[in-house]
Amino acid sequence: MTTCLDLTAERSLAASATKVGSAERVLLPFKEDSLSTEDKQSLLQRYGCQSSSYFNLQAGVQHFGSAHRGYVSYFRQRFLGSEFNIAFTRPVCADEDFHPLLDALEASTKRPSIFMAVDADCASALIDRGYRCNDMGVEYSLSLNSFDVKGKEKKYLRWASNFGRRGFVVKEQAWSEVNEDRVRDISERWRQTKAVTKRELRLITRPPEYRDAWGVRKFFCYLKGELVGYVFFDPYFQDDKIIGYTANIIRACPGIKPNGFLDYTILEAMKVFQKEGVARLSLGLAPLHELQSFPHEIASLRYLQQL
């Protein structure tokens, strides 16, 4: 969204593979086994409490873990002659299984790991393992329980919330109810306005899926019957309950005036989530935004971030 003063800013952290020592631990060994799609979804419902937890299910990544105790998702990447496991959200497991899971991952892959865009609790656990962490940016989220558009500071949001009077209509729809060619065309035209024009970004975001997807909510905005934009929301969980949604895919057809109909789309979706008792909405990560120093950071990496 463009303006919202009820936002909560949460730091996202990148944990490097450089270790500075680790404490001795006596924990139950972690034994890897095969993970079905249903296993990954079930574990996500139980432990997927980070707003980016659904990113674990994106295509083309590897999963290491157990159907009974959790898993970590990662992408194998070669950099400067070495290979790393790039993990892009916190491991999906109980707190007591965090260290055994990562011990087993390191022993199995025999590669160092880099964790990107993890939350503060995960960063703290990684520091206990000897990792060094750098601030990566800000994630903005808000409480749906108390959200409204009242007050002088929310003048823009009140303006956007009235786009229905301008002919805009927002619908939550199944994939079979929308024009797939139009959805893809909007995405392609939108991407041409961005720095990366040839491919979808992945890992710290999740590429769009042009189909119905487990748990994902898709809201489409129409103007005079024509699709002009859409927002896809990924769920995140705690103890088998949805505690929030992340506005992961936000696409608009360039040139549609006035600007603000995507904000209207999000506001309309928020009304639905509020009625369902959903607690939070995340607006996603703003990489490199308002970077702050961190006690266990790598100075050279911070210098590169500032550049």
Tokens of 62: 């590897």
Question: Residue 10 pLDDT > 80, yes or no?
Answer: no
**CB-CB contact of 11 with 135 (8 Å):** yes
- Res. 79: pLDDT tops 90: no
The predicted-structure confidence for 23-71, as pLDDT tens digits, reads as follows 444 455 777 788 999 999 999 999 999 999 999 999 889 999 999 999 9
pLDDT over 50 (residue 2): no
Higher-pLDDT residue of 133 and 245 is 245
8 A C-beta contact, residue 247 and residue 233: yes
Q: What is the pLDDT, as a whole number, of residue 135?
A: 87
Fold designation for 11-137+289-306: Aminopeptidase (3.40.630)
CATH class of 141-285: alpha beta
- Is residue 101 within 8 A of residue 65, CB to CB? The reply is yes
59 token code pair: 């295509």
pLDDT in tens, 181-223: 999 999 999 988 876 656 666 777 889 999 999 999 999 999 9
Nearest to 215 by CA among 235, 189, 231: 235
Per-residue pLDDT of 279-293, as tens digits, reads 999 998 887 778 888
Residue 6 pLDDT > 60: no
Residues in the chain: 307
| Most trustworthy range by pLDDT among 146-150, 155-159, 219-223, 253-257 | 219-223
**Which pLDDT does position 195 carry in this prediction?**
66
Phi, psi (rounded to 5 degrees) for 198: -95, -15
- What is the location of CATH 3.40.630.30 in the chain? 141-285
pLDDT of residue 169: 98
Split at pLDDT 50, 70, 90, the class of 157 is very high
- The more confident residue out of 28 and 159 is 159
Which amino acid is present at 303?
Answer: Y
Tell how far CA 251 is from the center of its chain. Answer: 16
Chain segment 222-276, per-residue pLDDT in tens: 999 999 999 999 999 999 999 999 999 999 999 999 989 999 999 999 999 999 9
> What residue has token string 């890992």?
203
Interval 95-106: pLDDT, tens: 999 999 999 999
Measure the CA–CA gap between 73 and 65, rounded to whole angstroms: 9
Give yes or no for a contact between 220 and 269, defined as CB atoms under 8 angstroms apart: no
What angle (nearest 5°) sits at the alpha carbon of residue 99, between those of residues 93 and 103? 110
**Quick one: pLDDT band at residue 91, thresholds 50, 70, 90?**
very high
| Distance, CA of 191 to chain centre | 19
Given a cut of 60, is residue 1 above it in pLDDT?
no
What angle do the packed helices 98-109 and 120-128 form, to 10 degrees? 60
CA distance 257 to 263: 13
DSSP, collapsed to helix, strand or coil, labels residue 296 as coil
Which helix (H) or strand (E) is 136 found in, with range?
A: strand 131-143
How far apart, in whole angstroms, are the C-alpha atoms of residue 114 and residue 112?
Answer: 7
